[in-house]
Structure 1
Amino acid sequence: MSNCARTDHHCQRCEGPLPFEFSMAFQPIVDVATQRIVTHEALVRGINGESAYQVLSQVSDMLLYRFDQACRVKAIELAAQLEMPSALSINFLPNAVYEPEACIQATLEISERVGWPAERLVFEITETESVTDRAHLRNIIDTYRQMGFTTALDDFGKGHANLDLLADLRPDKLKIDRALVMDCHRDTRRQILLKSVVDIATQLDIETVAEGIECRDEARWLHEEAGIVQHQGFYYARPAFEALPPVSVFTDS
Protein backbone atom coordinates (compact mmCIF):
# COMPACT_ATOMS: atom_id res chain seq x y z
CA MET A 1 0.00 0.00 0.00
CA SER A 2 1.32 3.46 -0.80
CA ASN A 3 2.40 5.92 1.87
CA CYS A 4 -0.71 8.05 1.34
CA ALA A 5 -2.85 5.24 2.72
CA ARG A 6 -0.95 5.27 5.99
CA THR A 7 -0.69 9.03 6.42
CA ASP A 8 -3.85 10.47 4.85
CA HIS A 9 -7.14 8.84 5.74
CA HIS A 10 -9.02 10.94 3.17
CA CYS A 11 -7.50 9.59 -0.01
CA GLN A 12 -9.14 7.89 -2.96
CA ARG A 13 -8.10 4.50 -1.62
CA CYS A 14 -10.17 5.03 1.50
CA GLU A 15 -13.37 6.66 0.28
CA GLY A 16 -16.28 5.86 -2.00
CA PRO A 17 -18.32 2.72 -2.69
CA LEU A 18 -16.90 -0.46 -4.13
CA PRO A 19 -17.57 -1.03 -7.85
CA PHE A 20 -19.02 -4.49 -7.11
CA GLU A 21 -21.30 -6.15 -4.58
CA PHE A 22 -20.62 -9.11 -2.33
CA SER A 23 -22.06 -11.01 0.61
CA MET A 24 -21.00 -13.66 3.13
CA ALA A 25 -21.35 -17.34 3.90
CA PHE A 26 -20.78 -18.69 7.40
CA GLN A 27 -19.00 -21.84 8.56
CA PRO A 28 -19.00 -22.95 12.20
CA ILE A 29 -16.03 -23.78 14.39
CA VAL A 30 -17.01 -26.37 16.98
CA ASP A 31 -15.60 -27.36 20.34
CA VAL A 32 -15.74 -31.14 20.30
CA ALA A 33 -15.13 -31.39 24.05
CA THR A 34 -18.28 -29.44 24.88
CA GLN A 35 -20.12 -30.24 21.63
CA ARG A 36 -21.05 -26.65 20.93
CA ILE A 37 -20.40 -24.05 18.27
CA VAL A 38 -17.93 -21.47 19.55
CA THR A 39 -17.42 -19.33 16.44
CA HIS A 40 -18.75 -18.78 12.93
CA GLU A 41 -16.25 -17.69 10.29
CA ALA A 42 -17.49 -15.18 7.71
CA LEU A 43 -16.42 -16.16 4.18
CA VAL A 44 -16.70 -13.80 1.21
CA ARG A 45 -19.13 -14.75 -1.54
CA GLY A 46 -20.77 -13.07 -4.53
CA ILE A 47 -24.30 -11.78 -4.11
CA ASN A 48 -25.66 -14.95 -5.68
CA GLY A 49 -23.34 -17.23 -3.75
CA GLU A 50 -20.44 -17.07 -6.23
CA SER A 51 -17.02 -18.19 -5.01
CA ALA A 52 -14.64 -16.09 -2.97
CA TYR A 53 -12.27 -16.05 -5.94
CA GLN A 54 -14.94 -14.42 -8.10
CA VAL A 55 -15.09 -11.56 -5.59
CA LEU A 56 -11.42 -11.30 -4.63
CA SER A 57 -10.31 -11.18 -8.25
CA GLN A 58 -12.01 -7.79 -8.46
CA VAL A 59 -10.11 -6.32 -5.51
CA SER A 60 -7.23 -4.20 -6.76
CA ASP A 61 -4.61 -2.56 -4.53
CA MET A 62 -6.57 0.66 -4.84
CA LEU A 63 -9.69 -1.05 -3.45
CA LEU A 64 -8.01 -3.11 -0.74
CA TYR A 65 -8.72 -0.81 2.20
CA ARG A 66 -12.33 -0.16 1.22
CA PHE A 67 -12.96 -3.85 0.64
CA ASP A 68 -11.47 -4.78 4.03
CA GLN A 69 -13.70 -2.24 5.76
CA ALA A 70 -16.80 -3.33 3.82
CA CYS A 71 -16.20 -6.99 4.72
CA ARG A 72 -16.19 -6.20 8.42
CA VAL A 73 -19.41 -4.20 8.18
CA LYS A 74 -21.18 -6.82 6.05
CA ALA A 75 -20.14 -9.71 8.33
CA ILE A 76 -21.28 -7.97 11.51
CA GLU A 77 -24.57 -6.82 9.96
CA LEU A 78 -25.41 -10.34 8.76
CA ALA A 79 -24.35 -11.94 12.05
CA ALA A 80 -26.68 -9.63 13.93
CA GLN A 81 -29.54 -10.25 11.49
CA LEU A 82 -29.08 -14.01 11.86
CA GLU A 83 -28.93 -13.67 15.66
CA MET A 84 -25.66 -15.58 15.66
CA PRO A 85 -25.20 -17.04 19.16
CA SER A 86 -21.45 -17.57 18.87
CA ALA A 87 -18.41 -15.38 18.28
CA LEU A 88 -17.90 -14.02 14.75
CA SER A 89 -14.59 -14.52 12.94
CA ILE A 90 -13.61 -12.06 10.19
CA ASN A 91 -10.63 -12.40 7.86
CA PHE A 92 -8.47 -9.39 7.14
CA LEU A 93 -5.34 -8.60 5.20
CA PRO A 94 -2.63 -6.90 7.31
CA ASN A 95 -1.62 -4.74 4.34
CA ALA A 96 -5.11 -3.22 4.33
CA VAL A 97 -4.67 -1.86 7.85
CA TYR A 98 -2.60 1.31 7.66
CA GLU A 99 -3.21 2.35 11.29
CA PRO A 100 -5.10 -0.04 13.59
CA GLU A 101 -6.97 2.48 15.73
CA ALA A 102 -8.16 4.47 12.70
CA CYS A 103 -9.06 1.42 10.60
CA ILE A 104 -11.13 -0.14 13.37
CA GLN A 105 -13.55 2.79 13.63
CA ALA A 106 -16.08 1.46 11.10
CA THR A 107 -16.01 -1.90 12.92
CA LEU A 108 -16.69 -0.22 16.25
CA GLU A 109 -19.47 1.91 14.79
CA ILE A 110 -21.36 -0.97 13.20
CA SER A 111 -20.83 -3.14 16.27
CA GLU A 112 -22.35 -0.46 18.49
CA ARG A 113 -25.24 0.12 16.10
CA VAL A 114 -26.27 -3.56 15.98
CA GLY A 115 -25.24 -4.35 19.56
CA TRP A 116 -22.37 -6.71 18.77
CA PRO A 117 -19.85 -6.84 21.68
CA ALA A 118 -16.11 -6.61 20.99
CA GLU A 119 -15.38 -9.78 22.93
CA ARG A 120 -17.38 -11.73 20.33
CA LEU A 121 -15.21 -10.60 17.41
CA VAL A 122 -12.26 -12.65 16.17
CA PHE A 123 -9.93 -11.24 13.51
CA GLU A 124 -8.17 -13.85 11.39
CA ILE A 125 -4.94 -12.62 9.87
CA THR A 126 -4.50 -13.96 6.35
CA GLU A 127 -1.64 -13.90 3.84
CA THR A 128 0.95 -13.21 6.55
CA GLU A 129 3.73 -14.21 4.16
CA SER A 130 3.15 -10.99 2.20
CA VAL A 131 3.81 -8.80 5.25
CA THR A 132 7.30 -7.29 5.21
CA ASP A 133 6.73 -4.94 8.14
CA ARG A 134 6.67 -7.30 11.12
CA ALA A 135 6.44 -4.44 13.61
CA HIS A 136 3.28 -3.20 11.89
CA LEU A 137 1.66 -6.62 12.16
CA ARG A 138 2.63 -6.86 15.83
CA ASN A 139 1.09 -3.44 16.42
CA ILE A 140 -2.19 -4.55 14.83
CA ILE A 141 -2.41 -7.64 17.04
CA ASP A 142 -1.46 -5.77 20.22
CA THR A 143 -3.91 -2.94 19.49
CA TYR A 144 -6.78 -5.30 18.76
CA ARG A 145 -6.11 -7.24 21.96
CA GLN A 146 -6.17 -4.01 23.98
CA MET A 147 -9.55 -3.22 22.43
CA GLY A 148 -10.95 -6.56 23.56
CA PHE A 149 -10.83 -8.44 20.25
CA THR A 150 -9.44 -11.93 19.71
CA THR A 151 -6.83 -12.47 17.00
CA ALA A 152 -5.93 -15.62 15.08
CA LEU A 153 -3.22 -16.56 12.58
CA ASP A 154 -4.99 -18.26 9.67
CA ASP A 155 -3.61 -21.05 7.46
CA PHE A 156 -0.83 -21.88 9.92
CA GLY A 157 1.53 -24.47 8.47
CA LYS A 158 0.87 -23.60 4.84
CA GLY A 159 3.40 -22.10 2.48
CA HIS A 160 5.92 -20.19 4.54
CA ALA A 161 4.68 -22.07 7.62
CA ASN A 162 4.53 -18.88 9.74
CA LEU A 163 6.51 -20.53 12.53
CA ASP A 164 8.91 -17.60 12.73
CA LEU A 165 5.97 -15.25 13.33
CA LEU A 166 5.51 -16.72 16.78
CA ALA A 167 8.87 -15.27 17.82
CA ASP A 168 7.43 -11.76 17.41
CA LEU A 169 3.65 -12.04 17.55
CA ARG A 170 1.18 -13.01 20.25
CA PRO A 171 -2.04 -14.16 18.59
CA ASP A 172 -4.76 -15.76 20.70
CA LYS A 173 -5.32 -18.62 18.24
CA LEU A 174 -3.50 -20.63 15.59
CA LYS A 175 -5.69 -22.03 12.81
CA ILE A 176 -3.82 -25.08 11.51
CA ASP A 177 -4.16 -25.41 7.76
CA ARG A 178 -5.67 -28.36 5.90
CA ALA A 179 -2.21 -29.06 4.47
CA LEU A 180 -1.22 -30.51 7.87
CA VAL A 181 -4.65 -31.86 8.84
CA MET A 182 -5.19 -33.97 5.70
CA ASP A 183 -4.96 -37.72 6.44
CA CYS A 184 -3.50 -36.99 9.88
CA HIS A 185 -5.03 -40.19 11.27
CA ARG A 186 -2.73 -42.33 9.10
CA ASP A 187 0.19 -40.05 8.21
CA THR A 188 2.99 -40.35 10.77
CA ARG A 189 4.87 -37.30 9.53
CA ARG A 190 1.82 -35.08 9.84
CA GLN A 191 1.14 -36.49 13.29
CA ILE A 192 4.62 -35.51 14.45
CA LEU A 193 4.25 -32.01 13.03
CA LEU A 194 0.77 -31.50 14.47
CA LYS A 195 1.80 -32.62 17.94
CA SER A 196 4.81 -30.29 17.76
CA VAL A 197 2.61 -27.33 16.78
CA VAL A 198 0.21 -28.07 19.63
CA ASP A 199 3.09 -28.34 22.09
CA ILE A 200 4.54 -25.00 20.97
CA ALA A 201 1.14 -23.31 21.07
CA THR A 202 0.41 -24.68 24.53
CA GLN A 203 3.69 -23.38 25.91
CA LEU A 204 3.00 -19.98 24.33
CA ASP A 205 -0.56 -19.96 25.74
CA ILE A 206 -2.14 -19.97 22.27
CA GLU A 207 -5.27 -21.95 21.40
CA THR A 208 -5.23 -24.23 18.36
CA VAL A 209 -7.98 -24.72 15.78
CA ALA A 210 -7.81 -27.46 13.13
CA GLU A 211 -9.11 -26.38 9.71
CA GLY A 212 -10.28 -28.40 6.75
CA ILE A 213 -11.42 -31.53 8.60
CA GLU A 214 -13.25 -33.73 6.11
CA CYS A 215 -13.77 -37.09 7.80
CA ARG A 216 -14.50 -38.71 11.14
CA ASP A 217 -11.07 -40.36 11.41
CA GLU A 218 -9.26 -37.04 11.06
CA ALA A 219 -11.53 -35.47 13.65
CA ARG A 220 -11.07 -38.28 16.16
CA TRP A 221 -7.28 -38.30 15.85
CA LEU A 222 -7.03 -34.53 16.22
CA HIS A 223 -9.16 -34.61 19.34
CA GLU A 224 -7.99 -37.80 21.03
CA GLU A 225 -4.32 -37.91 20.02
CA ALA A 226 -3.31 -34.29 19.37
CA GLY A 227 -5.61 -32.71 21.93
CA ILE A 228 -7.08 -30.16 19.51
CA VAL A 229 -10.67 -29.52 20.53
CA GLN A 230 -11.65 -26.68 18.21
CA HIS A 231 -12.49 -28.03 14.76
CA GLN A 232 -13.67 -26.61 11.44
CA GLY A 233 -14.36 -28.31 8.14
CA PHE A 234 -16.83 -30.01 5.81
CA TYR A 235 -17.11 -32.95 8.22
CA TYR A 236 -19.03 -30.68 10.57
CA ALA A 237 -20.71 -28.27 8.15
CA ARG A 238 -20.20 -26.66 4.79
CA PRO A 239 -20.43 -22.86 4.60
CA ALA A 240 -24.01 -21.62 4.26
CA PHE A 241 -24.76 -18.54 2.19
CA GLU A 242 -26.17 -15.79 4.40
CA ALA A 243 -27.21 -18.47 6.90
CA LEU A 244 -25.98 -20.48 9.88
CA PRO A 245 -25.60 -24.14 8.87
CA PRO A 246 -26.65 -26.85 11.33
CA VAL A 247 -24.02 -29.04 12.94
CA SER A 248 -25.16 -32.56 13.74
CA VAL A 249 -21.86 -34.47 13.92
CA PHE A 250 -19.20 -34.49 16.59
CA THR A 251 -16.18 -36.77 16.99
CA ASP A 252 -17.52 -38.60 20.02
CA SER A 253 -21.15 -38.85 18.92
Structure 2
Amino acid sequence: MATHFPIETNKSGCSQCHAPLGFEFTFAFQPIVHVFDKEVWGYEALVRGLEEKTAWSVLKRVNDDNRYAFDQACRTKAIALASRLKLDKMLSINFLPNAVYEPKHCIQSTLKAAEEHQFPLEKIMFEITESEQVVDRAHLTKIFEYYQSQGFTTALDDFGEGHAGLNMLASFIPNILKIDMELIKNVDQSPIKQAITKNLIQMCNDLNVTVLAEGIERIEEVQYFKDLGVPLMQGYFFAKPGFETLPKVDFSFLS
Protein backbone atom coordinates (compact mmCIF):
# COMPACT_ATOMS: atom_id res chain seq x y z
CA MET A 1 0.00 0.00 0.00
CA ALA A 2 2.59 2.52 -1.06
CA THR A 3 0.08 4.95 -2.55
CA HIS A 4 -0.07 8.26 -0.68
CA PHE A 5 -3.38 9.83 0.24
CA PRO A 6 -3.07 13.06 2.29
CA ILE A 7 -5.50 13.61 5.15
CA GLU A 8 -6.82 16.52 7.20
CA THR A 9 -7.52 15.96 10.90
CA ASN A 10 -9.61 17.99 13.30
CA LYS A 11 -9.68 18.56 17.05
CA SER A 12 -12.16 15.79 17.68
CA GLY A 13 -10.11 13.15 15.89
CA CYS A 14 -10.16 12.50 12.19
CA SER A 15 -12.03 13.49 9.08
CA GLN A 16 -14.71 11.07 7.86
CA CYS A 17 -13.73 8.40 10.45
CA HIS A 18 -17.07 6.67 10.20
CA ALA A 19 -17.53 6.79 6.45
CA PRO A 20 -18.38 3.40 4.91
CA LEU A 21 -15.71 1.73 2.82
CA GLY A 22 -17.97 1.04 -0.12
CA PHE A 23 -16.06 -1.87 -1.68
CA GLU A 24 -14.70 -5.33 -0.86
CA PHE A 25 -11.17 -6.71 -1.04
CA THR A 26 -9.09 -9.62 0.17
CA PHE A 27 -5.43 -10.65 0.48
CA ALA A 28 -2.66 -12.68 -1.07
CA PHE A 29 0.13 -13.87 1.22
CA GLN A 30 3.83 -13.97 0.42
CA PRO A 31 6.27 -15.84 2.69
CA ILE A 32 9.17 -14.17 4.47
CA VAL A 33 11.88 -16.75 5.02
CA HIS A 34 14.68 -17.13 7.55
CA VAL A 35 17.53 -18.45 5.43
CA PHE A 36 19.69 -19.62 8.32
CA ASP A 37 16.90 -21.45 10.16
CA LYS A 38 15.55 -22.70 6.81
CA GLU A 39 11.96 -21.98 7.73
CA VAL A 40 9.15 -19.57 6.98
CA TRP A 41 9.43 -16.66 9.42
CA GLY A 42 6.17 -14.99 8.45
CA TYR A 43 3.80 -13.91 5.69
CA GLU A 44 3.07 -10.46 4.32
CA ALA A 45 -0.60 -9.74 3.64
CA LEU A 46 -0.87 -8.06 0.24
CA VAL A 47 -4.11 -6.34 -0.76
CA ARG A 48 -5.95 -7.89 -3.69
CA GLY A 49 -9.29 -7.38 -5.34
CA LEU A 50 -11.85 -10.14 -5.32
CA GLU A 51 -11.39 -12.88 -7.92
CA GLU A 52 -7.59 -12.36 -7.79
CA LYS A 53 -7.68 -8.83 -9.14
CA THR A 54 -4.63 -6.59 -8.68
CA ALA A 55 -3.79 -4.43 -5.67
CA TRP A 56 -4.28 -1.34 -7.80
CA SER A 57 -7.88 -2.34 -8.49
CA VAL A 58 -8.40 -1.80 -4.76
CA LEU A 59 -6.02 1.08 -3.99
CA LYS A 60 -7.41 3.32 -6.73
CA ARG A 61 -10.70 3.36 -4.82
CA VAL A 62 -9.16 4.70 -1.61
CA ASN A 63 -9.73 8.41 -1.04
CA ASP A 64 -10.06 11.04 1.69
CA ASP A 65 -13.53 9.85 2.62
CA ASN A 66 -12.82 6.13 3.08
CA ARG A 67 -9.11 5.89 3.88
CA TYR A 68 -9.61 5.45 7.64
CA ALA A 69 -12.19 2.72 7.03
CA PHE A 70 -9.84 1.06 4.52
CA ASP A 71 -6.88 1.10 6.91
CA GLN A 72 -9.00 -0.39 9.70
CA ALA A 73 -10.49 -3.02 7.37
CA CYS A 74 -7.01 -4.05 6.19
CA ARG A 75 -6.00 -4.88 9.75
CA THR A 76 -9.12 -6.80 10.74
CA LYS A 77 -9.52 -8.65 7.44
CA ALA A 78 -5.86 -9.70 7.37
CA ILE A 79 -6.06 -11.07 10.91
CA ALA A 80 -9.33 -12.88 10.23
CA LEU A 81 -8.07 -14.50 7.02
CA ALA A 82 -4.70 -15.42 8.54
CA SER A 83 -6.50 -17.06 11.44
CA ARG A 84 -8.78 -18.95 9.06
CA LEU A 85 -5.68 -20.20 7.22
CA LYS A 86 -4.20 -21.27 10.59
CA LEU A 87 -1.17 -19.01 10.26
CA ASP A 88 1.13 -19.54 13.25
CA LYS A 89 3.99 -17.34 12.01
CA MET A 90 4.41 -13.57 11.86
CA LEU A 91 1.65 -11.73 10.00
CA SER A 92 2.90 -8.55 8.32
CA ILE A 93 0.25 -5.88 7.68
CA ASN A 94 0.83 -2.67 5.73
CA PHE A 95 -0.80 0.38 7.23
CA LEU A 96 -1.47 3.96 6.16
CA PRO A 97 0.09 6.27 8.78
CA ASN A 98 -1.83 9.25 7.48
CA ALA A 99 -5.05 7.44 8.48
CA VAL A 100 -3.96 7.02 12.10
CA TYR A 101 -5.03 10.16 13.91
CA GLU A 102 -4.50 8.77 17.44
CA PRO A 103 -2.60 5.46 17.87
CA LYS A 104 -4.33 4.27 21.05
CA HIS A 105 -7.80 4.72 19.57
CA CYS A 106 -7.03 3.49 16.07
CA ILE A 107 -5.46 0.26 17.32
CA GLN A 108 -8.63 -0.85 19.13
CA SER A 109 -10.13 -2.67 16.15
CA THR A 110 -6.83 -4.54 15.69
CA LEU A 111 -6.81 -5.61 19.32
CA LYS A 112 -10.45 -6.69 19.10
CA ALA A 113 -9.80 -8.73 15.93
CA ALA A 114 -6.74 -10.38 17.46
CA GLU A 115 -8.71 -11.33 20.56
CA GLU A 116 -11.71 -12.56 18.57
CA HIS A 117 -9.55 -14.78 16.35
CA GLN A 118 -7.08 -15.69 19.11
CA PHE A 119 -4.18 -14.30 17.10
CA PRO A 120 -1.16 -13.39 19.30
CA LEU A 121 -0.18 -9.72 19.23
CA GLU A 122 3.48 -10.67 19.21
CA LYS A 123 2.91 -12.33 15.81
CA ILE A 124 1.66 -9.11 14.16
CA MET A 125 4.06 -6.81 12.29
CA PHE A 126 3.05 -3.39 10.99
CA GLU A 127 4.87 -2.12 7.89
CA ILE A 128 5.09 1.45 6.68
CA THR A 129 6.61 1.95 3.27
CA GLU A 130 9.41 4.50 3.08
CA SER A 131 7.85 5.79 -0.12
CA GLU A 132 4.75 6.84 1.84
CA GLN A 133 4.81 10.63 2.08
CA VAL A 134 4.45 11.36 5.78
CA VAL A 135 3.79 15.03 6.45
CA ASP A 136 4.25 14.78 10.22
CA ARG A 137 7.24 12.57 10.98
CA ALA A 138 6.88 13.16 14.73
CA HIS A 139 3.37 11.70 14.52
CA LEU A 140 4.68 8.61 12.72
CA THR A 141 7.32 8.22 15.44
CA LYS A 142 4.54 8.34 18.03
CA ILE A 143 2.61 5.62 16.17
CA PHE A 144 5.62 3.30 15.92
CA GLU A 145 6.64 3.81 19.54
CA TYR A 146 3.11 3.06 20.71
CA TYR A 147 2.85 -0.06 18.54
CA GLN A 148 6.18 -1.33 19.85
CA SER A 149 5.03 -0.70 23.44
CA GLN A 150 1.98 -2.88 22.77
CA GLY A 151 4.13 -5.81 21.66
CA PHE A 152 3.79 -5.41 17.89
CA THR A 153 6.79 -5.69 15.58
CA THR A 154 7.43 -2.66 13.34
CA ALA A 155 9.02 -2.54 9.90
CA LEU A 156 10.18 0.18 7.52
CA ASP A 157 9.53 -1.04 3.97
CA ASP A 158 11.11 -0.11 0.62
CA PHE A 159 14.08 1.57 2.32
CA GLY A 160 16.16 3.46 -0.21
CA GLU A 161 13.29 4.19 -2.59
CA GLY A 162 11.24 6.94 -1.04
CA HIS A 163 10.90 10.41 0.31
CA ALA A 164 12.80 10.50 3.59
CA GLY A 165 15.58 7.92 3.59
CA LEU A 166 18.00 8.30 6.46
CA ASN A 167 16.02 11.22 7.89
CA MET A 168 13.06 8.92 8.51
CA LEU A 169 15.30 6.27 10.07
CA ALA A 170 16.80 8.94 12.32
CA SER A 171 13.30 9.71 13.64
CA PHE A 172 12.52 6.22 14.85
CA ILE A 173 14.16 2.80 14.97
CA PRO A 174 11.99 -0.01 13.57
CA ASN A 175 12.49 -3.65 14.47
CA ILE A 176 12.86 -4.60 10.79
CA LEU A 177 14.25 -2.68 7.83
CA LYS A 178 13.31 -3.96 4.38
CA ILE A 179 15.81 -2.99 1.67
CA ASP A 180 14.11 -1.77 -1.48
CA MET A 181 14.06 -4.31 -4.29
CA GLU A 182 15.82 -1.96 -6.72
CA LEU A 183 18.91 -2.23 -4.52
CA ILE A 184 18.48 -6.01 -4.46
CA LYS A 185 18.15 -6.67 -8.18
CA ASN A 186 21.43 -8.03 -9.61
CA VAL A 187 23.32 -6.76 -6.56
CA ASP A 188 25.95 -9.45 -7.11
CA GLN A 189 26.81 -7.76 -10.42
CA SER A 190 26.87 -4.15 -9.22
CA PRO A 191 29.79 -2.78 -7.16
CA ILE A 192 27.77 0.38 -6.48
CA LYS A 193 24.80 -1.54 -5.06
CA GLN A 194 27.20 -3.69 -3.06
CA ALA A 195 28.82 -0.62 -1.48
CA ILE A 196 25.41 0.82 -0.58
CA THR A 197 23.93 -2.40 0.81
CA LYS A 198 27.04 -3.34 2.81
CA ASN A 199 27.05 0.03 4.55
CA LEU A 200 23.30 -0.12 5.09
CA ILE A 201 23.57 -3.56 6.67
CA GLN A 202 26.42 -2.42 8.91
CA MET A 203 24.38 0.58 10.02
CA CYS A 204 21.43 -1.66 10.87
CA ASN A 205 23.71 -3.98 12.84
CA ASP A 206 24.95 -0.97 14.82
CA LEU A 207 21.34 0.08 15.52
CA ASN A 208 20.21 -3.48 16.37
CA VAL A 209 17.76 -3.47 13.46
CA THR A 210 17.10 -6.74 11.62
CA VAL A 211 17.55 -6.49 7.84
CA LEU A 212 15.12 -8.07 5.40
CA ALA A 213 16.08 -8.29 1.72
CA GLU A 214 12.91 -8.19 -0.40
CA GLY A 215 12.40 -8.71 -4.10
CA ILE A 216 14.82 -11.66 -4.23
CA GLU A 217 14.58 -13.41 -7.61
CA ARG A 218 17.95 -15.16 -8.10
CA ILE A 219 20.07 -17.59 -6.10
CA GLU A 220 23.04 -15.23 -6.51
CA GLU A 221 21.11 -12.54 -4.65
CA VAL A 222 20.27 -15.02 -1.91
CA GLN A 223 23.92 -15.98 -1.52
CA TYR A 224 25.13 -12.39 -1.53
CA PHE A 225 22.92 -11.35 1.39
CA LYS A 226 23.39 -14.63 3.18
CA ASP A 227 27.16 -14.11 3.10
CA LEU A 228 26.60 -10.70 4.72
CA GLY A 229 24.58 -12.28 7.52
CA VAL A 230 21.13 -11.07 6.44
CA PRO A 231 18.66 -13.54 7.98
CA LEU A 232 15.31 -12.59 6.43
CA MET A 233 14.45 -12.60 2.73
CA GLN A 234 11.35 -12.34 0.57
CA GLY A 235 10.66 -12.55 -3.13
CA TYR A 236 9.57 -14.59 -6.13
CA PHE A 237 12.64 -16.79 -5.79
CA PHE A 238 11.06 -18.33 -2.70
CA ALA A 239 7.38 -18.04 -3.62
CA LYS A 240 4.93 -15.77 -5.39
CA PRO A 241 2.03 -14.40 -3.33
CA GLY A 242 -0.72 -16.94 -2.86
CA PHE A 243 -4.29 -15.69 -3.28
CA GLU A 244 -5.98 -16.39 0.07
CA THR A 245 -3.44 -19.17 0.68
CA LEU A 246 -0.11 -19.59 2.49
CA PRO A 247 2.46 -20.72 -0.11
CA LYS A 248 5.01 -23.34 0.89
CA VAL A 249 8.76 -22.84 0.44
CA ASP A 250 11.27 -25.42 -0.74
CA PHE A 251 14.48 -24.94 1.27
CA SER A 252 16.46 -27.68 -0.44
CA PHE A 253 18.36 -25.06 -2.48
CA LEU A 254 19.98 -23.65 0.68
CA SER A 255 23.31 -25.25 1.53
TM interval, short-chain normalised: over 0.9
Which residue of 212, 233, 236 corresponds with 2:235?
Answer: 233
Q: What is the CA RMSD across the aligned residues, in angstroms?
A: 1.4
Query: Are residues 250 and 96 of structure 1, via their aligned partners in 2, closer, same or farther at CA, if it must alter by over 3 Å?
Result: farther
Question: SS where residue 161 of structure 2 aligns?
Answer: coil
Matched ranges for 1:174-193 at <5 A: 174-193=177-196
Task: Find runs of 4+ consecutive structure 1 residues off by over 3 angstroms.
Answer: none
Check if 1:218 corresponds to 2:224. no
Aligned position for 1:159:
162
Matched ranges for 1:68-217 at <5 A: 68-160=71-163, 162-217=165-220
Q: TM-score, normalised by structure 1?
A: 0.94
Matched ranges for 1:4-43 at <5 A: 4=10, 7-8=12-13, 13-43=16-46
Report how many residues are paired: 249
Question: SS where residue 89 of structure 1 aligns?
Answer: strand
Question: SS where residue 189 of structure 2 aligns?
Answer: coil
> Partners of 1:72 and 1:183 in 2: how far apart?
34
> Partners of 2:56 and 2:120 in 1: how far apart?
30
Is the 1:32–1:250 Cα contact (8 Å) retained in structure 2?
no
Aligned AA (1:245): P
Question: SS where residue 236 of structure 1 aligns?
Answer: coil
Question: SS where residue 127 of structure 2 aligns?
Answer: strand
> Partners of 1:102 and 1:117 in 2: how far apart?
19
Cα deviation for residue 18 of structure 1 reads 1.4
1:90-130 CA distance string (max 9 Å, x none): 00111011110000000000100000111000000125551
Structure 1 residues 116-125 or 164-173, which shifts more?
164-173
> Partners of 2:141 and 2:131 in 1: how far apart?
11
Structure 2: gaps of 5 or more residues: 1-6
Cα deviation for residue 17 of structure 1 reads 3.2
Q: TM-score, normalised by structure 2?
A: 0.94
